[in-house]
Amino acid sequence: MREVKLSHLDAELDTLAYPATRADVAAELAEVHLLYADGEEDFLDVLERVEGDVFTGPDDLRTDVMNVLPIEAVGEPGQSEGEG
């Protein structure tokens, strides 16, 4: 597993070739384990909750992923994950 802070997920999504299918994303990011502000989760578990099957670009995938993250991922309103 490769641990990736949620704040660094954009860099991972930017490396994929688009358009990308759900299977493409799963194959490329299968080893990613996301570290949240309060907790952690395998990226594949997050991807299972995403409704889309084809992503036109990193912004499309990013939006879908962010929409299904648990509240613990970003912390309480007004809090920041911090730098680093």
For 37-70, write each residue's pLDDT tens digit: 999 999 999 999 999 999 999 999 999 999 999 9
Residue 60 contacts residue 52 (beta carbons within 8 Å): yes
Q: Does residue 83 lie in a domain region?
A: no
Give the pLDDT band (50/70/90) at residue 78: very low
pTM: 0.85
Distance CA 19, CA 7 (A): 23
**Terminal-to-terminal C-alpha distance of the chain:** 20
Q: Does residue 32 lie in a domain region?
A: yes
Which domain range does residue 16 map to? 2-70
Give the pLDDT band (50/70/90) at residue 74: confident
Q: Does residue 82 lie in a domain region?
A: no
